[in-house]
Amino acid sequence: MKRKPFPWHVVVFLAPAVAIYSLFMIYPLIDSLILSLQNKDPDGAVVFVGLQNYQTLFSSENWSKPFWNAFWNNIEFFLYHMLIQNPVGLLLAVLLASRIRGGWLYRTIIFTPTILSVVIVGFVWRLVLNPAWGISQGILDAVGLGNLNQPWLGLENTALPTLSLISVWQNIGIPMMLFLAALIRIPDELLEAARVDGASAWTVFWRIQLPLILPTVGIVAVLTFVGNFNAFDLIYATQGALAGPNFASDILGTFFFRTFFGYQLQPGDPYMGATVAGVMLLIILTGVLIYLFAWQRRLQNIQF
């Protein structure tokens, strides 16, 4: 029997992707991790310090307090997306999948904010909520709730919820589309059979649709998690790098930005910045691993 020749074509086809991915993703990642293990000695020379930067980040009050503040804010930011964006996205998808009249129009309108630039979204919402001439005052006045209006983006207990909801508003199209794609793939026979058996729409959703789109639910959850813990742009565009008031809207992305690049008179610190980035990588990695092992493995057998 003749030995199979080495499959060179596989190497050739893989090479461009591997090369580009290594050069632009793997190499910077490793380089950033190495940077987080270095610092400057008093003479200004770069030295290897092991895990000392990580120790500083968690033990020195000047570092740990803003870090944990950003971390818990980030959890809150994530929970708003998990508890509002994804369930509402699912609801919209189920409604659209039921072939309501004008579904394509709703689908387009709901998806539109997703394709807008974050800078535009931040700017528009800042105008809407502006206490001096924003339309939020007029809208609330019209329904007699004018005195409920608040400087939403300027108060410590409303800034982060407001920003989270803006982000939900912008991104809700993504889970909606993913859920919709999964729902459409469910064979009509299954739904028809259920209806013939007398199942209500409610039962159809819980007993047939939801179990069959569970893999998508998992993917949406993990995408939300990764997206939220990498988030930066909306907060930066709306609140600036100081993520005010009093860092009430500071999340890991803005904390990293200030640390690495500096701000106004604050000099940038690439070593501590890389350390923050390292911890962010660890958090995201943990989340993704939990998904892979606890969720995706159990789903492998569900098929139709």
Binding site for another protein (CB under 8 A): 62-63, 66, 126, 129-132, 149-156, 239-240, 242, 244-247, 259, 262-269, 272
Token reading at 3:
């030995």
How near is the Cβ of 57 to another protein at its closest, in Å?
10
d(CA 216, CA 211): 10
Give 3-state DSSP helix, strand, coil % of the chain, rounded to 5: 75, 5, 25
- Please say which residue, 228 or 259, places its beta carbon nearer to another protein: 259
How near is the Cβ of 148 to another protein at its closest, in Å?
13
Inter-residue long-range contacts of 6-15, CB under 8 Å, 24+ positions, other chains counted: none
How near is the Cβ of 242 to another protein at its closest, in Å?
6
How near is the Cβ of 132 to another protein at its closest, in Å?
5
CB 288 within 8 A of CB 108: no
CB 295 within 8 A of CB 218: yes
Amino acid of residue 254:
T
How near is the Cβ of 236 to another protein at its closest, in Å?
13
CA atoms within 13 A on the CB side of 296: 12
- Please say which residue, 107 or 126, places its beta carbon nearer to another protein: 126
- Please say which residue, 129 or 180, places its beta carbon nearer to another protein: 129
CB 276 within 8 A of CB 37: no
- Please say which residue, 114 or 149, places its beta carbon nearer to another protein: 149
CB 180 within 8 A of CB 294: no
- Please say which residue, 62 or 303, places its beta carbon nearer to another protein: 62
CB 280 within 8 A of CB 252: yes
How near is the Cβ of 237 to another protein at its closest, in Å?
12
In this structure, the chain runs to a length of 304
- Please say which residue, 264 or 301, places its beta carbon nearer to another protein: 264
CB 219 within 8 A of CB 178: yes
